[in-house]
Amino acid sequence: MPTPSEISNRQSEITNLKSAPHRAEWAPPAHAPRRSVFGNYRPEPEPAAAEPVAAPSPLTPAAPQDHPETSDTALARAFLYRFLARAYEDPTPLGWAQLCAPDTQEHLTAAWKIAGDRVAGSAPAEVPASPGPAEETAGALDHAECARIGNPPDGRPEVCAAFTPAAFDAFLDAYLAAFGHAARGPCPLNEIEYGDLKADPLFQPHRLADLAAFYRAFGLEVAEDAGERHDHLCLELEFMCVLAAKEAWAREHQLDAEPLALVRDAQRKFLREHLGRWTPAFTRRLERHATGTPLAALARFTRAFTLAECARLGVPPGSEDLLLRPADEAAALCESCGLAQALPGAAPAAPA
């Protein structure tokens, strides 16, 4: 559990990313309107993420030196992050039709062949800092389980077969059952609902502050009408989409090593400290709760991709055994720190 001083230093480190050389060509222009992780940010042009992966040949997993990172790989990863962010949004008939569209699923299959191969057992592209025995064991078990998901016989991810126009009602019912009409359902979509039950009471606001610092460091802010906190799964997925798109741009334009290293390091840190820390527990919980539904297939695919990303960036995946933090504790925290939005599942404050 980081101390307040460590959190302060961490936020300064993230913010300093903006002051590095090449800021003029890498950071958003000062005169441009601020972009939003959820609302205003749009890659230019939007279909760019799909073009390089429209018709790839099947790839055999290889050692890192035989499978270098390229702009195509980064674009494929950006597409996969964007797909997952859309899949976890509140379901609508129009959104579901877009997810099930033949061209979407064709691009998804192609992107997975390029970016998802690391769950098959190839070595990490970047070596992590000496994971402990428990982390090594958990990682090996996770990869063995997800190899089947990551390498289907026909090359199409399982989620493609599960996402069909006729399956919308089944997906919607499972979505409402898992995430609920209430503030917090059985499988919360917010990061800070998962963690050590004995953690410091400031754990949650520190996490939110760290997320906000990450977004600000890359000129992003959550749209006012987003209706979600910074730790919502969709926002974290979209942020990684933005970082992967920046990496693709840097590789395509052959920028100096420093801008590429900065955005690559940001992905590694964000995955280690946020997205990769809690999604294994979230997806395992969701899969068990939504057994036999398209939502369970989405959970398995999300876990497989998260593990592939952890392998690619040399980050040990988080534990699948993270528990949910008590809802009443979240309510007391909200009152004490003055968070503008009530934490999911928090009991309403008693009248004064």
pTM to 2 decimal places: 0.71
pLDDT computed for residue 142 by the predictor:
52
d(CA 322, CA 315): 17
Structure tokens belonging to residue 68: 């270098």
Tell me: pLDDT of 337 over 80: no
Closest to 14 in 3D by CA, of 268, 326, 342, 311: 268
CB 250 within 8 A of CB 263: yes
Taking only the tens place, the pLDDT of each residue in 142-196 is: 555 555 565 666 678 999 999 999 999 999 999 999 998 666 789 999 998 998 7
Domain 65-323: top CATH class: mainly alpha
Backbone phi and psi for residue 36, each to the nearest 5 degrees, phi listed first: -110, 145
Mapping DSSP onto H, E and C, the string for 190-227 reads: EHHHECCCCCCCCHHHHHHHHHHHHHHHCCEECCCCCC
Helices 93-100 and 71-87 pack at an angle, to 10 degrees, of 150
Tell me: pLDDT of 17 over 50: no
**What's the mean pLDDT in 255-280?**
93
Per the model's pLDDT, the better-predicted residue between 215 and 349 turns out to be 215
CB 311 within 8 A of CB 119: yes
> What are the percentages of helix, strand and coil residues in the chain, rounded to 5?
60, 0, 35
Confidence band, pLDDT 50/70/90 cuts, at residue 57: very low
Tell me: pLDDT of 48 over 90: no
Taking only the tens place, the pLDDT of each residue in 160-173 is: 999 999 999 999 99
Domain borders along the chain are: 65-323
d(CA 254, CA 277): 32
Q: Which helix (H) or strand (E) holds 35?
A: strand 35-36
Taking only the tens place, the pLDDT of each residue in 63-119 is: 333 347 899 999 999 999 999 999 999 999 999 999 999 999 999 999 999 987 665
CB 247 within 8 A of CB 49: no
Tell me: pLDDT of 26 over 90: no
* Candidate ranges 185-194, 265-274, 323-332, 334-343; pick with highest mean pLDDT: 265-274
CB 153 within 8 A of CB 342: no
